[in-house]
Amino acid sequence: MDKTAAQLVDFTAGLRYSDIPAATIKAAKGRLLDSMGCAMAGLLAPPVRAARKLAYPIAGTDGARLFGTLTRTAPDLAALVNGTMVRYLDMSDAFLMTSTAHPSDNIPGLIAIAEEAGASGKDLILAIVISYEVQCQLADAAAFQVEGWDQPVAGAPAAALAAGRLLGLKKPQLHDALAMAAVPNLATMQTRAGKLSMWKGVAGPNAARQGVFAAQLAAAGMTGPEDPFEGDFGLWAQTVGAPHPVKIPKKLNGHTFALMQTNIKTYPVRDSIQVPIMAALKLREKVSAADIETLRIDTYAKSFARAVEDTALWEPSTRESADHSLPFCVAAALLDGAVSPETFARKRYLDKDARRLIKRMQMNLDDAFDKVAPATRTCRLVATTKDGKEISVQHRQTLRDIERGPSKQTFEEKFHTLAATSLPEDARTEMADLIWSIDKAKTIDRLVDLTAI
C-alpha cells in the first residue's frame, strides 16, 4: 500500500469547511484577492498571449472562461492561461521551506473547475486550502530542488486532489487523479537554471493544468498507476531516493495550515529577494548609490548558493533572470528607491548605472544566517563608501511575521494597484467585496464576470 498517496487522499476526502479556522479562511480569501490582482496586471503579458492562442473556444455552457476575454474553453486550458497571468509578475505568494512552492499557481485551475462544476464560493475556499496544504507539505517533506526537481513535482498532485474534491470524486477516483498527476509530471530544475525564459513563470500553471486534467480523467473513469509515490519507480524513488514523511496530521486540533505560512510578496521578484530589497531601502536612507565603492551582501546558502557564481543572475538579460537576480534587485532598490513591475517592463536591468553598481558587489554566504534559514530570512548589506566609511544595515523576516500576514487594507491596496492596469475602480471594488464574502456565493461565476475588459 502506498502510504503517502493514502494519506493525501484521506486528507482531501475528509477535510470539511467547518474544520478550517476562521483566520485560515480569511487568509485564503486574501490569497484569492492577491492572485486576482496579479492576474489582472498580467492579462496582456507575452507568455499569456502565447498561451491564449492555444485555448480554443468551445460552444455551449460547459468549460471555463479566460480572464479578461471571457472566452469559454476547456478547464485545463483556462488553468494554464489564467495561471500564467497570476505568475507573470512573480508577485503572487510563495512558500519557502525545505523546497519552494508557488501554491497560488493552482488557484486559477480551481476557479476553472469550480465554474464548470457550478461549485459554490465555500467549495472554492475549501479546495484552495486543500491545494495549499498538499503542495506545501509535499514541498517541505524533501529537498526536491536540491536534487534537481522543480515545483510541479508537488504542484500537480495538489491541483489534482483539490480539483477532484470540487468534482465530488470518491477516494478511489481521488487516488487515480493523484497518480495521473504525480507520475507523468516529474519536472526538472532546468526551468530555473542559466538564462531564464518565459517558462519560468509557466511551469507552475502548467502543473495546475495537468492536475486539473488528471482530475477530469479520473471523473471520466480513467484509472491511474498504483503506488505513485512509493512504488519501485514512484515519485520518491525517482526524485529523492526514498519515502519522506509528509506532515499532514490525521487530527487537525491545533494544526497550523500551510496556507498561513505562504509569504505575500511586496515586490515582483523571487520570494527570497524580498528581504534583501528591504535591506537595500534601509541602506539607501544612509548612503547614495553613487557614493558606494563596494557592497557586500551577506545572506544564506539555502536560497543563494547557486546565485554566487551564476553569470545569468549577475548579468541578467531577460526579465525572468532579472526578477531572480539578487544583485540587480538590490541595485534597483538603491538607485531608484523602489522595485516595481515598471522596473522590469522598462528593462532597467540593462541600464549602465545598474550594471556598474552590480560590478561593485560581492555575495557572502553567512553560516549563522544559514542555520536559521529559511524560517528566519536575514540579509546584511555592508557598503564601503568612496571616502572609506563602512555602513552596515540588516533586515530580517521570521516565520511568525509571515503567519501574521498583511492586514485587509494592505491586501486591498496591493490588489487595487495591480488590477488598476486592467479594471476600472467600480469593477475592482465589487471584486474585492465579492472575494471577502465569497463563502456566501452560490457560484463563482460573478468573480469571472468581473475580469472582463
How do residues 322-332 score in pLDDT, each as one tens digit?
A: 999 999 999 99
Could you give the residue ranges of the DSSP H alpha helices within 220-345?
235-239, 274-284, 301-304, 311-314, 319-322, 326-336, 341-345
pLDDT for 362 equals 97
Least confident of 7-11, 301-305, 424-428: 301-305
Does pLDDT of 338 surpass 90? Answer: yes
- Cite the DSSP H helix spans in 15-120: 22-41, 46-52, 75-87, 107-117
DSSP secondary structure letter of residue 61: S
**What is the distance between the alpha carbons of residues 68 and 33, in angstroms, rounded to a whole number?**
16
Q: Which residues contact 21 (CB under 8 A, 6 or more apart)?
A: 257
State mean pLDDT over 321-349: 98
Provide, rounded to the nearest whole percent, the portion of the chain with pLDDT above 70: 100
pLDDT at 313 over 90: yes
pLDDT at 250 over 90: no
Q: What is the pLDDT of residues 68-105, one digit of tens each?
A: 999 999 999 999 999 999 999 999 999 999 999 999 99
In the predicted model, is pLDDT for residue 335 greater than 90?
A: yes
**Residue 283 grid coordinates:** 541602506
How many whole angstroms separate alpha carbon 443 and alpha carbon 70? 16
pLDDT tier, 251 (very low <50, low <70, confident <90, very high otherwise): confident
DSSP bridge pairs for 168: none
Task: Give whole-number Cα distances, 224 to 1, 220, 250, in Å.
Answer: 15, 12, 25
Checking if the pLDDT of 232 tops 90, the result is yes
**DSSP letters along 180-240, please?**
HHHTT---BGGGGSSS--GGGGTHHHHHHHHHHHHHHHHHTT----S-TTTSTTSHHHHHT
Q: What percent of the chain has pLDDT over 90?
A: 98
Regarding the domain delimited by 3-264+405-449, which CATH topology (the fold level of the hierarchy) does it fall under? 2-methylcitrate dehydratase PrpD (1.10.4100)
In this structure, whether the domain defined by 271-399 belongs to CATH 3.90.1150.10 is answered with no
Q: Give the mean pLDDT of the chain.
A: 97
Domain coordinates in residue numbering, the chain = 3-264+405-449, 271-399
Report whether pLDDT(406) > 90. yes
pLDDT category at 1 given cuts 50, 70, 90 is confident
> What pLDDT does residue 60 have?
87
Which range, of 85-94, 198-207, 246-255, 353-362, averages the lowest pLDDT? 246-255
pTM of the model: 0.97
- The partner residues of 100 in beta bridges, in order of sequence, read 96
* Distance of alpha carbon 151 from alpha carbon 99, whole angstroms: 8
- At 391, give phi and psi (nearest 5°): -125, 125
Q: Nearest 5 degrees, angle CA 62-CA 153-CA 244?
A: 130
Stretch 214-230: mean pLDDT? 98
